[in-house]
Structure 1
Amino acid sequence: MKDSSKRRGSAASPCAACKLLRRRCAQDCVFAPHFPADEPHKFACVHKVFGASNINKMLQELEEHERGDAVRSMVYEAKARVRDPVYGCVGAISSLQQQIDDLQTQLALTQAQLVRMQMHAHNYHTQH
């Protein structure tokens, strides 16, 4: 049947989600296209943070073409939550924003120093 070729897993090789949940991987498994058997860590991390039932509900509420992006977002957030249980990806974003602010300040100081040096060089050349 052609429908079976659309799914990465099969009854003999369940997707990472069904394998972790110890259940039969059905032909229409919502997890299979996004959590292949060769990436068990991906589902394990998302499952730890969101739970299988919530992941299933979120994916079921989306159009098929939106699910890949949703899974990538869940994986990103889950990994961030594992690293920083309190702030998750917000902590990472805040840290990166602080780095940007610091670098912008450093750039502004360097540009001001460059202008001063150029003015000093210009004044030196006009006097000599």
Structure 2
Amino acid sequence: MSISTSGNTAIMTEDCLACKYQRRRCPAYCPFAPYFPHGHEQQLKNMHKLFGSGMVNVIKLVRTIEDPSKKDIAIRTIMVQSDMRAKDPVGGCYRIIQELQHQIECTQAELDQIYYTIAICRAQNAHRLQMQKTDDGDHCQMMNKLPLVGFETEKLANLSI
């Protein structure tokens, strides 16, 4: 428990799990307070097991990062990696990454097959339209070549122009 005073009132704040684990007083600017509130004991144990030395290695790593948003990402990444390593001691995050890459490759192959099928359908449709245009043109030409039905060609021959 930490006591911080502001004006005339004293505020009781509970130490974060990281400071409690190290048996230190949790400062107001503690970088781990947002990530290890009470109830996340297992995440802290996983991180300690993976990185060791009672959070010293993690603190050193976080101090080397200047950008606050990157610090946030780094701590969250460390937490995820330690949780994954606890769930899968052999593969950890690497196994999950491999599975996701395999899914991406399978999905990409399926997408390529779909694009190929679409290209075939479009080519068949274009060929069918071309054949219809050709058939329509031939039909008109054939109509011009057919003799006129019901017209007496003999009368036409007898006409003198």
TM-score, normalising length: structure 1 = 0.71
Match of 1:86 in 2: 90
Deviations 1:94-123 (A, max 9, x none): 211111111111111111111111111222
Gap change, CA 1:49 and 1:120, over 3 Å in 2: same
Specify every segment of 5 or more residues in structure 1 that has no aligned partner in the other structure, as ranges.
Answer: none
Gap change, CA 1:113 and 1:64, over 3 Å in 2: closer
Structure 1 stretch 46-55 or stretch 57-66: which is displaced more?
Answer: 57-66
Gap change, CA 1:29 and 1:126, over 3 Å in 2: closer
Query: Max radius of gyration: which structure?
Result: 2
Within-5 A mapping of 1:57-96: 57-63=60-66, 65=68, 66-96=70-100
1:72 and 1:114 mapped to 2: Cα distance? 43
1:59 and 1:22 mapped to 2: Cα distance? 17
The 4+ residue runs of structure 1 with deviation greater than 6 A are: none
Deviations 1:65-120 (A, max 9, x none): 35323211201211221232222222222211111111111111111111111111
Q: 2:104 aligns with which of 94, 100, 106?
A: 100
TM-score, normalising length: structure 2 = 0.59
Point out the structure with the larger strand share: 2
Checking the alignment, whether the CA contact within 8 Å between 1:15 and 1:31 is kept in structure 2 is: yes
Matched pairs, number: 120
Gap change, CA 1:54 and 1:22, over 3 Å in 2: closer
Deviations 1:9-29 (A, max 9, x none): x8751211233x272434265
Q: Percent identity?
A: 29
Match of 1:55 in 2: 58
Higher relative contact order (CA 8 A, sep 6+): 1
Specify every segment of 5 or more residues in structure 2 that has no aligned partner in the other structure, as ranges.
Answer: 6-10, 133-161
Shift of 1:63: 4.2
Checking the alignment, whether the CA contact within 8 Å between 2:85 and 2:91 is kept in structure 1 is: yes
